A and B are shown apart, each in its own frame.
Chain A
Amino acid sequence: MIPWGDLMNINLDLFLTFMKIGAFTFGGGYAMIPLIQREVCDNKRWLNEDDILEVVAISESTPGPVAINAATFVGRRTSGTFGAVCATLGVVLPSFIIISAISFVLKAFQESKAVQYAFMGIRAGVLALILKAVYTMFMATKKHAVSYVIMAAALVLTAFLKIDAVFVIIGCAIFGLIWSLIFRREKRDDMD
């Protein structure tokens, strides 16, 4: 049994470490993984390199922000459910404070001509970033007839038929499951 004092130290340490990770990652998600690796593996030795790969693999196949998945997983591994709460709270807090502050500043300046011009430019820049994100994900995915059909169907259903994204996600998940169980025998044999 770990003494109470040590347990509190670990939880406080988790909170502060993930607060640091939250405060110094831009863009979040996968950008956060190298930082987590450095803090959690190299500095604190809470987890090893294999565990980090596990974190990434789980984050990819569970819903929600990658940063939250990673913080919860590391916190739980290190110090149970309360550790998970501390790590998650830590990673969320810097964003929360910074965005709250910016929101008020932005509101004060949103009538300014210069700010409006800046955002006119920024919107076009963000559009380019979204294009890049789609391209990167497209290149990283396995491409075969079924995946092209799913991609096209999801695009058409949301963009042109205005179906709610949640229903498209549920539909594609069910389709993937049924298709895999019926037609992807070779994959199943690999796994068994």
Chain B
Amino acid sequence: MIWIDLFLTFLKIGAFTFGGGYAMLPLIQSEVERHGWLTQAELVDFMAVSESTPGPLAINMATFIGIRTGGIFGAVCATLGVVLPSFVIILIVAKFYEKFRKSRAVDGVMYGLRPAVIGLIGAAFLSVGMTVFFPGGFQTSAFGTASIWVSVGIFALGAVLAFKKLHPIAIIGISAVIGIIAGYALGL
């Protein structure tokens, strides 16, 4: 049953994401791949749309994947799932805030989790990179195509602009325009 599956999957994603937003990407990636709900490329597209529309990235992604796989009710199930763990945990933690803040156990767990999240997003970067540069799987012949060099160029420009602190929406907009111009000009 797709609705229960969406709810439980996003419940798991909500319960294991620390830091929100991009930290969620590796979890969504492995779940979506396992269920065969989306291709990697579609996931990256959804991420771009989620980044360019208002609201939390996590909610946008959950709604998007839910609606695509199970319609409006699927979106309700996925969103409810991703929200519920935070909601319940905050209600509990808010009650015992002082104890929680001073807890050695929480401190120890976070000592392990903070660097882990960075490693996980690093892994997501590598696998999204493979999808972007080698959409048909890795082949050395891909280096002879124009599309890989368009992607490399946009990525390089995007990275420079991101490090110059240009707003993500502006970077997505610029990438889209270059994609359209290069696509038509080179007949990709």
State the A residues within 8 Å of B (CB): 22-29, 32, 54, 57-69, 72-73, 76-77, 81, 84, 88, 91-92, 94-96, 98-100, 102-103, 106, 113-114, 116-135, 137-138, 141-142, 146-148, 150-155, 158-159, 164-166, 168-170, 172-181, 184, 187-188, 191
B137 at the binding interface (Cβ < 8 Å):
no
Question: Do B20 and A179 have beta carbons less than 8 Å apart?
Answer: no
Q: Would you give the shortest CB distance from A105 to chain B, in whole angstroms? A: 10
Q: Would you give the shortest CB distance from B76 to chain A, in whole angstroms? A: 8
Question: Do A117 and B118 have beta carbons less than 8 Å apart?
Answer: no
A125-B155 contact given A92-B79, A168-B116, CB 8 Å threshold: yes
* Chain B residue at minimal CB-CB distance from A121: B179
Question: Do B25 and A130 have beta carbons less than 8 Å apart?
Answer: yes
Question: Do B162 and A54 have beta carbons less than 8 Å apart?
Answer: no
CA distance A132 to B17 in the complex (A): 19
CB-CB under 8 A from B118, the residues of chain A are 134, 137-138, 141, 151, 154
CA distance A51 to B15 in the complex (A): 24
Q: Which of A63, A114, A122 contacts B86 (CB 8 A)?
A: A63
CA distance A169 to B72 in the complex (A): 31
Contact with A along B14-25 (1 / 0, CB 8 A): 111111111011
Question: Do B75 and A65 have beta carbons less than 8 Å apart?
Answer: no
Those of B149-167 within 8 Å (CB) of chain A: 150-159, 161-163
Q: Which of B12, B97, B123 contacts A166 (CB 8 A)?
A: B12
Question: Do B94 and A22 have beta carbons less than 8 Å apart?
Answer: no
Question: Do B90 and A58 have beta carbons less than 8 Å apart?
Answer: yes
CB-CB under 8 A from B132, the residues of chain A are 123-124, 127
CB-CB under 8 A from A76, the residues of chain B are 90-91, 94
Q: Would you give the shortest CB distance from B38 to chain A, in whole angstroms? A: 12
CA distance A27 to B60 in the complex (A): 10
Contact with A along B40-71 (1 / 0, CB 8 A): 01001101111111111111100110011000
Question: Do B94 and A134 have beta carbons less than 8 Å apart?
Answer: no
Question: Do A134 and B122 have beta carbons less than 8 Å apart?
Answer: yes
CA distance A58 to B106 in the complex (A): 11
6 CB contacts below 8 A, A to B, read: A66-B21, A128-B161, A130-B128, A133-B22, A134-B118, A169-B117
Question: Do A150 and B112 have beta carbons less than 8 Å apart?
Answer: yes
CB-CB under 8 A from A125, the residues of chain B are 48, 154-155, 158, 171-172, 174-176
Q: Would you give the shortest CB distance from A70 to chain B, in whole angstroms? A: 9
Question: Do A177 and B121 have beta carbons less than 8 Å apart?
Answer: no
CA distance A33 to B180 in the complex (A): 35
CB-CB under 8 A from B94, the residues of chain A are 58, 72-73, 76-77
Question: Do B147 and A151 have beta carbons less than 8 Å apart?
Answer: no
Question: Do A181 and B116 have beta carbons less than 8 Å apart?
Answer: no
Q: Would you give the shortest CB distance from A73 to chain B, in whole angstroms? A: 5
Question: Do B56 and A95 have beta carbons less than 8 Å apart?
Answer: yes
Which of B27, B30, B94, B131 has the largest number of chain A CB atoms within 10 A?
B94
Question: Do A22 and B55 have beta carbons less than 8 Å apart?
Answer: yes
Q: Which 3 A-B pairs have the closest CB atoms?
A: A176-B112, A121-B179, A64-B86
Which of A67, A68, A123, A187 has the largest number of chain B CB atoms within 10 A?
A123
